[in-house]
Amino acid sequence: MSLQYKIISKFYDLLDVIYFKDTNTNPRKGMLEYIPDRKLKVLDLCIGTAANSITIAENRPKSEIIGIDLSKDMLTVAKEKIGKRGIRNITTYVMDATNIGFDDNYFDIVVISLVLHEVDYNIRNKIIIEAKRVLKKKGRIIILEWDNPNKFIHKPLFSIIELLEPKGFKEFLHLNIKEYVEKFSLKVLREKKCDYTRIIEITKNVMDYNHLLEKYDDMTLLVTLILPEHTEAVMREIGKAMNIDIDLEEVIWAVENNDIRGINQVCLFEKGRDFVYIDCGDDLHQIIIRCLHSEREKIYDSFYKWVQLRQEAYNQPKGKELIDWMHPDENYEKYKNPLLSNLQYNKLIDYENE
Ligand SMILES: C[S@@+](CC[C@H](N)C(=O)[O-])C[C@H]1O[C@@H](n2cnc3c(N)ncnc32)[C@H](O)[C@@H]1O
């Protein structure tokens, strides 16, 4: 493979000139949609000549990008391009993607671009396992891969790719990525079509269901509404009370960008044994906390003052009853909070496992 890339490295960048020249629909730019503009550690697995890394570095300057590849020749081209552009936030290493020399849970984003189609089944599996290992619990794997083009005028050029790619390419095009990654306890969140390609956003299956079932009897949900402007402070206090390290930067980003997902439109902030959710409405944010039954009073006290502020703002009588408790198998119907009438404990737990 490395030998092959010795020659390919000389003209590899023609690929972008021929196939990905359209600035609006090219996948290098398309990938940015999946990478927020904040301090992130990004791993570009099999970086090649750094087409993705350079786009990320220039558009997401706060990020720190590590690119690894087995081919020194591809990396030489990558380094020249990075140097010419004066980019400082990309570091490259000669390294095997099936044996990544970084710690577990190290990266926020792992990019795997135009690689999986050209490696055999075993290597592909190993790359996915390693990508998952180095990915933070709430990180994202972003796969960019060739895909049958929708546009008729793209078909002739795509047939050249079909000719040049290794045996098994056509089967790969039909691979059901959703089912494939599920074997590794990964989950497809989104997929989008770009020129000749598709981009697939994948997450670790954050809910460890068995772990959850073990604790099921002792868990409770604590639900309340607050004003959006109090969200950050409330999350901070909840974190302190639960002794969990809530990633506030992520909370703020998710709320500001309306990064809501799942059937209840909820942002999920899971840390170890406990879970905190925010449902982002326009006027009110609904905070749902899964905690140990024995801890609920303590946690409740940590944010009661903001509940009072919200009650004042809405001219509601002050009282604890506007904070609700729920136990497994219970519905919210008996409570007063109208927004919660459809909420069911099991539904919330299950949506991450769908
Ligand atoms: C088609 S290129 C893709 C390059 C780049 N990711 C892109 O999107 O243009 C595939 C790259 O994967 C690298 N590669 C293949 N197997 C690898 C492995 N096991 N470990 C690291 N790099 C590998 C090759 O050297 C080559 O640079």
Integer-rounded Cα Rg, in Å, for the chain is: 23
- Cα dihedral across residues 10, 1, 41, 261: positive or negative: positive
Residue spans of the domains in the chain: they are 2-204, 209-351
Tens-place pLDDT, residues 288-301: 777 777 777 788 88
- Which pLDDT band, with edges at 50, 70 and 90, does 228 fall under? confident
Greater pLDDT, 66 or 323: 66
User: Mean of the per-residue pLDDT values for the chain?
Assistant: 80
CA distance 135 to 133: 6
Please report which confidence band the pLDDT of residue 348 belongs to, taking 50, 70 and 90 as the band edges: very low
Query: What is the pLDDT confidence band of residue 219, given thresholds at 50, 70 and 90?
Result: low
pLDDT confidence of 282, banded at 50, 70, 90?
Answer: low
199 Cα distance to chain centroid: 13
Which pLDDT does position 317 carry in this prediction? 65
3-state secondary structure of 195: coil
- Compute the Cα dihedral for 270, 271, 276, 278 and give only its sign: negative
- Stretch among 102-106, 261-265, 266-270, 307-311 having the lowest mean pLDDT: 261-265
- Please report which confidence band the pLDDT of residue 281 belongs to, taking 50, 70 and 90 as the band edges: low
3-state SS assignment for residue 130: helix
* DSSP 3-state of 87: coil
Q: What is the mean pLDDT of residues 64-89?
A: 97
DSSP three-state, residue 350: helix
Which whole number is the average pLDDT over 58-84?
97
- Residue 19 in contact with ligand 1 by CB distance below 6 A: no
Distance 135 CA to ligand 1 centre (A): 19
Average pLDDT over residues 227-235: 87
- Cα-to-centroid distance, 46 and ligand 1 (Å): 4
70 lines ligand 1 (CB under 6 A): yes
**Contact by Cβ (8 Å): 251, 269:** yes
pLDDT at 142 over 90: yes
Using alpha carbons, list the distances in angstroms from residue 151 to 26, 107, 114, 143, 199: 14, 35, 20, 21, 17
Confidence of residue 270 (pLDDT cuts 50, 70, 90): low
Task: Answer with the residue of higher pLDDT: 205 or 144.
Answer: 144
Q: Which atom of ligand 1 is closest in space to residue 112's alpha carbon? A: 6
Worst-scoring range by mean pLDDT, 152-156, 214-218, 220-224, 263-267?
263-267
**What b/e sequence results for 277-300 when a residue is b if at least 16 CB atoms lie within 10 Å of its CB, and e otherwise?**
bbbbeeebbbbbbbbeeebbeebb
Q: Dump pLDDT digits (tens) for 153-192.
A: 899 999 999 998 888 898 999 999 998 998 787 888 889 9
Best CA proximity match to 332, nearest among 218, 223, 215: 223
Rounded to the nearest angstrom, the distance between the alpha carbon of 33 and the centre of ligand 1 is 22
Average pLDDT over residues 213-224: 59
111 lines ligand 1 (CB under 6 A): no
According to DSSP, the β-strands at 107-113 and 135-146 are parallel
Starting at the edge strand found earlier in the chain, the sheet holding 285-292 runs 266-271, 274-280, 285-292, 219-226, 324-326
Average pLDDT for 113-117: 97
165: phi then psi, degrees, rounded to nearest 5: -75, 155
Tell me the helices (H) and strands (E) count for the chain, helix number first: 14, 12
Provide the terminal-to-terminal Cα distance of the chain, rounded to the nearest Å: 38
Crossing angle of helices 248-256 and 231-242, in 10° steps, is 150
H or E stretch including 312? helix 296-313
Q: What is the pTM of this model?
A: 0.67
3-class DSSP state for residue 20?
Answer: coil
Work out which ligand 1 atom sits closest to the CA atom of 5.
25
* pLDDT cut 90: percent of the chain above it: 44
Mean pLDDT for 92-106 is: 95
What type of residue sits at position 163?
L
What is residue 335's predicted lDDT score, i.e. its pLDDT? 40
CATH of 2-204, one of 3.10.110.10, 1.20.120.140, 3.40.50.150, 3.40.630.10: 3.40.50.150
Pocket lining: 231 vs ligand 1, CB cutoff 6 Å: no
Structure tokens at 86: 């004066």
Rounded Cα distance, 69 and 51, in Å:
13
Report how far ligand 1's centroid is from the alpha carbon of 144 (Å).
Answer: 12
**Percent helix, strand, coil in the chain (nearest 5)?**
45, 25, 30
Task: Check whether 308 has a pLDDT greater than 60.
Answer: yes
Does 95 have pLDDT greater than 70?
Answer: yes
The lowest-confidence range among 32-36, 298-302, 348-352 is: 348-352
Cβ neighbours for 297, distance < 8 A, ≥ 6 positions apart: none
Please give the DSSP secondary-structure letter assigned to residue 166.
P
Distance, in Å, from the CA atom of 34 to the CA atom of 122, rounded to the nearest integer, reads 27
Regarding the beta carbon of 348 and ligand 1, being less than 6 Å apart is answered no
Run of H or E residues at 144: strand 135-146
Tokens at 166, concatenated: 């290794």
